[in-house]
Each structure stands twice: as structure tokens, then as C-alpha cells.
Amino acid sequence: MVVGWHRPTKLVIDTHAIKQNVRNEIKRVPDGTELFAVVKANGYGHGAIQTAKAAIEGGATGFCVAVLDEAIELREAGITEPILILGVVDTSYIDLLLKYDLSVTAATQEWLEQAKEQLVHLQTESPLKIHIKVDTGMGRIGFTSPEAVKKAVTVVKAENSMMWEGVFTHFSTADEKEIDYFQKQEQRFKSVLAVLDELPRYVHTSNSATAFWHPEHTGNMIRFGIGLYGLNPSGHELTEVYPLKPALSLVSELIQVKELPAGEGIGYGNTYTTKDNEWIGTVPIGYADGWLRHLTGFSVLVEGAECEIVGRICMDQCMIRLPKQVEVGTTVTLIGHDHGQEITMQMVADKLETIHYEVACTFSERLPREYK
């Protein structure tokens, strides 16, 4: 998909906000704790490379991604800090892991055995850096018992072609008020650590939510994800521990404004009919950009006034009801601040009955990212 540079719709990313969020979190953590910025999924839709560079300026010492290609993108952009791939990478790509000096997640004994075979054929001088993943109750990937983890560590330490760099887990309910399940997972991870004779360089359990609301976390590294972008991982349930600075705004302009009489249909399916004479504005953004059809009935801001989206959102455009005649070219704020009013990504998520993580990741490549 091409980037739509030649229309007025764009995402505006405040890199100062990213830097400030990193700095605020670093102030809270114990000495010796590192912060790895999570920039998977194109930096949660914000742009991975630009987000990573801002995070470094804020004090981040490494990065986490989900897939190998995301890590390669960072390396080829000149990022030299440690990069951990959180997902499973097929062992046939170990040569690329070594070439780009990447750390990889080991989640099963079978993967480790296959990796050993690959490394024998490669005859590498640099060891493969491995973080052993412990599934303490997420049910996703990882070893599920202390004995299995200890066996995996033994295999890695016995191989000169491997380096045991980290051990970690992920908490599934760190962003909730109820802490019983969190404590169950935490205890399981501590049971794993208890059977190990020594610990690797990185021991990490903290995503943003764990870092915020469970500061007594086990480990010496934080995987700072959604908090990096200034968004509360808990949504409405838990209060921010310090003011987060949202980094993303979504803006466009009116490309046509017309007054329609009562009884006129708007959009596909004629789902909205004007009740009186109404000023209707057209905005060049639609579901192909990630501005989804379920946002019909949601409001955007024009000169600080809330303007309802009327009729079905189209692939490339949507229509809004204006309180008065407004000039073509007037700014439309879909997410962000406008004349003292604000639309947050959480508000968009609430309308869609989802989470702001998904909203941010839904914005398509067609939307230009402008960095300030």
C-alpha cells in the first residue's frame, strides 16, 4: 500500500512525548534496571524506527520486537542497541539472527535441539543469544515447569555456540485490580528462579502494566510497551501512576462542505437522513486507513466543536454533521487536541468496544506519519 502524502490526512507523532514517557519511567525504577522499548507492530502504529530513536534519546538501552523482520529493520536503520525478538523464530533463520546480532526467544526443548543442529552447520564464532521464555499462566509460548526450564538452561550453557542471555515471563492480568492471578504467576516464576544455580544477564517480567502497578517486580529489565506511547495499559480500570503523554494525533481537513435540505440520505445504505437543513462536511479518511465503519456515530472535532460522523464510513471518506458553515480546508481532529477539547485513543477504543492497542495498530500504511 502506498503512503497518501498528497492528501491532508495524517498521523502526527510527538517524539518529545515518547522521550518524556521513557524518562519518567526510568526515574521510578531501581538502579541497575534497564528499559527496553517495545517497538513491535511498527511501533504500535507510531513508526518503529522513529520511535526507537526517540526512545534512545529518552534513555532506553534496548528494544523488543515480535518478528525477525522487525529486528532487521531496526538494524538496517542504524540501531545498534540490543534487540530481543519476543516471538518464535524458525531455526532455519539462525544465520540472520547471528548476522544482525539479535537475541531470540527459546520456548521449547524441541526448538533448542533444532537450533543446536543448525549452529553445528554454521560453525559460527559468535554465540546465539537466547532468552528462555517461561509460561507462568499466559498460555501462549514458553516452558511450563521449573524442571523444563532447568533442562533448557543446561542445554544452552553446555553449547559454546549459545549464550544464555535472559529468562522471562509475561503477566496476563497486571493491568487489573484483582491481583490473585498475578501473584500466582509471580510465584511460579520465582519457583523457576529458585531451581537455577545462577541467573543470566537479563531477568525480566515487567511489561508496562507490571512496571506501573507492581514496582516490586522480579528482574532487572522492563519491557516498556504501551506506556512508551503515552497510553494507560489498564484503560479505565487503574489510574496512571504518573501523567502519561500520548504521542499520537490523527488529523485531516474538510474537502467539501454543503448544505442539504431535510430528507436527504447520507452514505452507503442510506442509513442517515437529514432531519432539517444540515451542513455536511466530507473528510478524506475511511476504513482503508483504519478509521473503521463501527465509528459511525462517533464525534470528531472541528474548531473545538464535536461533530458527529453521519452515514456509513466509506473506504476512503466519511461525512460529518457540522454546526454551521465551515470553510473547506478547515482542520478536522479525529484524535488529539483542538481548541481546548480532546479526543483520546481510549475514546475511540470505547466506541469500538476494544482496546487502544488495537486502535493504534489498525492505522494503515496509507496514513503518513509526521514526526514533531
The pairing of beta strand 272-273 with beta strand 83-85: unpaired
**Whole-number pLDDT of residue 218:** 72
Asked if residue 253 and residue 356 are part of one domain, the reply reads yes
Same domain, 221 and 256: no
Range name among 126-135, 213-222, 265-274, 334-343 with the lowest pLDDT average: 213-222
Which pLDDT does position 106 carry in this prediction? 98
Percent of the chain whose pLDDT exceeds 70: 100
Statement: residue 116 has pLDDT above 90: yes
Q: Are residues 169 and 260 in the same domain?
A: no
140 labelled ligand-binding = yes
Query: What pLDDT shows up at residue 102?
Result: 98
Is residue 237's pLDDT more than 80?
yes
Mean pLDDT of the chain: 96
Cα–Cα distance for residue pair 354/235, rounded to 1 Å: 10
Structural domain includes residue 10: no
CA distance linking residue 12 with residue 47, whole number of Å: 11
Quick one: pLDDT at residue 229?
A: 98
Average pLDDT for 278-293 = 98
At 120, the pLDDT band (50, 70, 90 cuts) reads confident
Query: Given a cut of 90, is residue 284 above it in pLDDT?
Result: yes
pLDDT band at 150 (very low <50, low <70, confident <90, very high): very high
Q: What number is the average pLDDT over the span 146-170? A: 96
Percent of the chain with pLDDT over 90: 95
Instruction: Give the strands of the sheet with 34-38, arranged side by side.
Output: 202-204, 162-168, 128-133, 103-106, 83-85, 62-65, 34-38, 221-224
In this structure, is residue 237 part of a structural domain? Answer: no
The confidence score (pLDDT) of residue 266 equals 97
Query: Do 209 and 269 lie in a common domain?
Result: no
pTM here is 0.94
Check if 40 is active-site: yes
Residues 191 and 310 in one domain: no
268 is catalytic: yes
User: Are both 21 and 105 inside the same structural domain?
Assistant: yes
Quote the pLDDT of residue 42: 97
Give the separation between CA 159 and CA 178, rounded to whole angstroms.
Answer: 42
In Å, how far are 15, 26, 92, 305 from 83, measured between CA atoms?
Answer: 20, 19, 19, 44
**pLDDT higher than threshold 80 for residue 123:** no
Q: How confident is the model at residue 311 (pLDDT cuts 50, 70, 90)?
A: very high
Clarify whether residues 224 and 254 are in a common domain: no
Q: Choosing from 10, 40, 53, 133, which is the catalytic residue?
A: 40
Q: Distance between CA 152 and CA 336 in Å, rounded? A: 47
Give me the pLDDT at residue 204, please: 96
In a domain, 121, yes or no: yes
pLDDT at 345 over 80: yes
Alpha helices in 65-108 (DSSP H): 68-76, 94-99
User: What confidence score (pLDDT) does residue 122 get?
Assistant: 84
Give the number of domains in the chain: 2
Q: Cell for 149?
A: 526450564
pLDDT bin (cut points 50, 70, 90) of residue 91 is very high
Contact 105, 131 (CB under 8 A): yes
**Which CATH number is 340's domain given?**
2.40.37.10
Q: Report which DSSP code applies to 292.
A: -
Dihedral of alpha carbons 138, 139, 141, 143, sign: positive
Q: Which domain holds residue 342?
A: 248-371
Whether residue 3 lies inside any domain: the answer is: no
Question: H or E stretch including 194?
Answer: helix 180-194
In angstroms, the first-to-last Cα distance of the chain is 24
Question: Which residues does 176 contact at the CB level (< 8 Å), separation at least 6?
Answer: 182, 234, 237, 238
**pLDDT, position 335:** 98
Please enumerate, as own/partner, the contacts of 77-80 that have beta carbons within 8 Å and a separation of 24 or more: 77/49, 77/52, 79/49, 79/52, 79/53
Find out whether 23 is annotated in a ligand binding site.
no
> How many angstroms separate the CA atoms of 339 and 367, rounded?
24
What average pLDDT does the segment 19-23 reach?
98
300 in the same domain as 212: no
Domain end marker among 202, 229, 256: 229
What is the mean pLDDT of the segment spanning 317-343?
A: 97
* Half-sphere exposure (Cβ direction) of 18: Cα atoms closer than 13 Å: 30
Catalytic residue among 190, 242, 258, 268: 268
Specify the pLDDT at position 216: 81
For residue 236, is it within any domain? no
Contact 137, 175 (CB under 8 A): no
